[in-house]
Amino acid sequence: MERYLLSGNEALARGAYEAGVKVCSAYPGTPSTEIFENLPQYRDALYCEWAPNEKVATEVAYGASIAGVRSLCAMKHVGVNVAADPIFTAAYNGVSGGFVIISADDPSMHSSQNEQDNRHYARAAKLPMVEPSDSQECLDFMRAAYEISERFDLPVLLRTTTRVSHSKGLVRFGEREERPVPAYARNTRKYISSPANAMMNHPKVEEALAALEAYGCTSPLNRMELNGTKIGVVTASIAYQYAKEAFPADASFLKLGLTNPLPMKLIREFAAKVDKLYVIEELDGFMEEQIKAAGIDCVGKDLTGKIYELNPQLLQERIFGRKPETVDVGVSAVSRPPALCPGCPHRGFFYTMSRHKDFVIAGDIGCYTLGGSAPLNALDSVVCMGGGFTVAMGMARAFELAGQTDKKVFGVMGDSTFFHSGMTGAAEIVYNHGNVIPVVLDNSITGMTGHQDNPGSGRTLQGDIAETLKIEDILAAYGYKNILIVDPQDLAAMEKAVQDALASTEPAAIIARRPCLLIKRIKHDIGKCEVDQDKCIGCKKCLSVGCPAVMVENKKAKIDPNQCVGCTVCAQVCPKSAIARKEN
């Protein structure tokens, strides 16, 4: 049978399709994004969408489950924090159509603000959890998750990590299972989460979890690979793959796929077969702590550590003390940090802000987080999506109360973040008379995660034309009287907008609007800038815009023609007018 090379995320999309899933909603976030980018190919069989945020995605998918169809939502680990409210209650209410929530965790924080271990959510919310360890399991476990969800009347958490989601392996396909949709019948006892119903639902959940633990002891999702009796390894997810290479060939394995609730009887049986039991897992001692609490002797975190990703060589070193032989070539590479792209629309805004030492700027998560890096250095804080306006609000109030009246406070976020969870913050500022200027950096796309559409971009995930929500109309409806829309690439206009907003006696907001340069469907005005070597005095002022295409060599500025797109931001700051756009 033919096998295809698929990433974990591609295999999850295929698995959802094969499981007969009908309604799918997600908000992008690395490393989960490609799951939904791979769903529109099945649009004849299912509906998929980008929701404005993870809570919305979860609710949409859960609604479809209540209506009787199999449904899916997906998010990165921190997205589960946003979606936690409906998730916890959905566990009590249960499902009609199978309902799977994918959490893609990011150990080592390849592109995240923390490395939280979302397995704890499964325990806290009382959800069954499945953890695939490669692409084939991504497909197979997705199908199994729907069976479990319907059989035990619970939503299922499917957890991956970056290496499971982004690694490719060979996968065999199955057929799509078309499922009949039952006639809808109102079930208020089940789905109205009033205290009285919740009182009845909670014991039901505990019973289902107990039944699930028994199921896990015989399910093929959890399997023993018995070799020798000296060493036994309990492991799951990507750590299984690492352990298979790090441990000797005679080690026995208990490979778990269903990791909440843990099949403790099976673990006990396995432990009795071996002299020494290891628990190998990335991040927290989620399994180890429970296994120890059940009175089973084992080692794990004391050796492996709970910070960052593992790999086979690290395991060998930490467990068996075998340090890999490496060569130090005696030269070190300097860092290659990401920077705003040449021609990025965010550059002009951050350059403007960087000129004012009395500005305090609460930022947010997106490409524009890079506005906080050298040489722009124009951010004071970044917490979470949607936090830009509200953290600014708290800072401003604190400055007022402390009498530090010289500070001018801005809250900054992108368009996708505004729709995600920034709108409530914009309401907060007007409602509570905040002394804050909210700024939306509107590049008309969700840039950071690879250019997904959002409510302001005019398209849907399935590629259809959509209503383009206007940020200025929303702000106006909230009571902002002075909304300044500006092209951030025009530095004089940008500075004027900032000053006008500060001078405004009525609630003011700024929308810095120019599309991201990497949006393919837009025709961008691309050109090239050049330095007139005779005019250049080597003052390095042009370096302060932080464009990767500009450098100063031998006391003269130089622009890399392969990188420059002719945005002219560097030209606008040159005191000698030495940089000019070459019209071609």
Q: Using CB under 6 A as the criterion, which residues of the chain lie in contact with ligand TPP when the complex forms?
A: 27-29, 76, 78-79, 82, 365-368, 385, 413-417, 443, 445-449, 516
Q: Which of 114, 125, 116, 117 is nearest to 83 (CA)?
A: 125
Binding residues for other proteins, rule CB under 8 A, total 66
Choose the one of ligand TPP, other proteins, ligand SF4, none that binds residue 546, judging by a C-beta under 5 to 8 angstroms depending on kind. other proteins
| Nearest distance from C-beta of residue 398 to ligand TPP, angstroms | 25
Q: Which of 287, 289, 324, 317 is nearest to 303 (CA)?
A: 317
Q: State the amino acid at position 183 in one-letter form.
A: A
Task: Take residue 561 and report the two structure tokens written for it.
Answer: 């023609």
| Nearest distance from C-beta of residue 349 to ligand TPP, angstroms | 11
Task: Take residue 132 and report the two structure tokens written for it.
Answer: 């695939």
* Residue 370 binds other proteins (CB under 8 A): yes
- If the CB atoms of residues 161 and 417 are measured against ligand SF4, the closer one turns out to be 417
Tokens 């000296």 belong to residue: 230
208/152 Cα distance (integer angstroms)? 6
524/222 Cα distance (integer angstroms)? 53
Residues 6 or more apart in contact with residue 335 via CB below 8 angstroms: none
Question: Which x/- pattern over 9-48 shows residues binding other proteins (rule: CB under 8 A)?
Answer: ---------------------xx-x---------------
Choose the one of other proteins, ligand TPP, ligand SF4, none that binds residue 561, judging by a C-beta under 5 to 8 angstroms depending on kind. none
Choose the one of other proteins, ligand TPP, ligand SF4, none that binds residue 329, judging by a C-beta under 5 to 8 angstroms depending on kind. other proteins
**Choices 67-75, 304-312, 421-429, 534-542 (CB under 6 A): range interacting with ligand SF4:** 534-542
**Choices 40-48, 173-181, 237-245, 267-275 (CB under 8 A): range interacting with other proteins:** 237-245
Kindly report the length of the chain: 584
Choose the one of ligand TPP, other proteins, ligand SF4, none that binds residue 73, judging by a C-beta under 5 to 8 angstroms depending on kind. none
55/349 Cα distance (integer angstroms)? 30
**192 alpha carbon, distance to own chain's centre:** 31
- If the CB atoms of residues 189 and 540 are measured against ligand SF4, the closer one turns out to be 540
CA distances from residue 254 to 156, 263, 269, 279 in whole angstroms, order as listed: 22, 11, 10, 10
Choose the one of ligand SF4, other proteins, ligand TPP, none that binds residue 559, judging by a C-beta under 5 to 8 angstroms depending on kind. ligand SF4
Residues 6 or more apart in contact with residue 74 via CB below 8 angstroms: 12, 24, 26, 32, 35, 36, 57, 101, 102, 104
Sign of CA dihedral 39, 44, 46, 52: positive
Tokens 């949607």 belong to residue: 386
- If the CB atoms of residues 375 and 527 are measured against other proteins, the closer one turns out to be 375
| Nearest distance from C-beta of residue 450 to ligand TPP, angstroms | 9
- If the CB atoms of residues 412 and 564 are measured against ligand SF4, the closer one turns out to be 564
* Residue 567 binds ligand SF4 (CB under 6 A): yes
Choose the one of ligand SF4, ligand TPP, other proteins, none that binds residue 79, judging by a C-beta under 5 to 8 angstroms depending on kind. ligand TPP
Q: How many Cβ atoms sit within 10 Å of the Cβ of residue 226?
A: 13
| Nearest distance from C-beta of residue 238 to other proteins, angstroms | 8
Q: How many Cβ atoms sit within 10 Å of the Cβ of residue 258?
A: 26
Q: How many Cβ atoms sit within 10 Å of the Cβ of residue 490?
A: 16
| Nearest distance from C-beta of residue 528 to other proteins, angstroms | 17
* Residue 440 binds ligand SF4 (CB under 6 A): no
**Choices 114-122, 211-219, 327-335, 563-571 (CB under 6 A): range interacting with ligand SF4:** 563-571
* Residue 340 binds ligand SF4 (CB under 6 A): yes
Question: Which x/- pattern over 501-530 shows residues binding ligand SF4 (rule: CB under 6 A)?
Answer: ---------------xxx----------x-
* Residue 331 binds other proteins (CB under 8 A): yes
With beta carbons less than 8 A apart as the criterion, state whether 342 and 565 touch: yes
507/375 Cα distance (integer angstroms)? 31
What is the DSSP secondary-structure string of 483-533? EEEE-TTSHHHHHHHHHHHHH-SS-EEEEEE---TT-TTS-----EEEE-T
**Phi and psi dihedrals of 61, rounded to 5?**
-65, -40
* Residue 392 binds ligand SF4 (CB under 6 A): no
Task: Take residue 537 and report the two structure tokens written for it.
Answer: 């005095």
* Residue 573 binds other proteins (CB under 8 A): no
| Nearest distance from C-beta of residue 204 to ligand SF4, angstroms | 47
**Choices 176-184, 329-337, 404-412, 567-575 (CB under 8 A): range interacting with other proteins:** 329-337
* Residue 158 binds ligand SF4 (CB under 6 A): no
Specify the pairing of strand 528-531 against strand 579-582.
antiparallel
Choose the one of other proteins, ligand TPP, ligand SF4, none that binds residue 234, judging by a C-beta under 5 to 8 angstroms depending on kind. none
212/168 Cα distance (integer angstroms)? 31
CA-only gyration radius of the chain, Å: 27
* Residue 241 binds ligand SF4 (CB under 6 A): no
Instruction: Write out the H or E segment, with its range, that includes residue 409.
Output: strand 408-414
Q: Which of 547, 541, 539 is nearest to 565 (CA)?
A: 547
* Residue 570 binds ligand SF4 (CB under 6 A): yes
Tokens 């002022």 belong to residue: 541
| Nearest distance from C-beta of residue 496 to ligand TPP, angstroms | 23
Residues near other proteins (CB under 8 A) are 3, 5, 30-31, 33, 110-111, 134, 162-163, 166-170, 238, 240-242, 244-245, 249, 309, 311-314, 324-342, 344, 367, 370, 374-375, 447-451, 518, 540, 543, 546-552
Residues near ligand SF4 (CB under 6 A) are 340-344, 346, 367, 443, 447, 516-518, 529, 531, 536-542, 545, 547, 549-550, 552, 557, 559, 564-570, 574, 576, 578-579
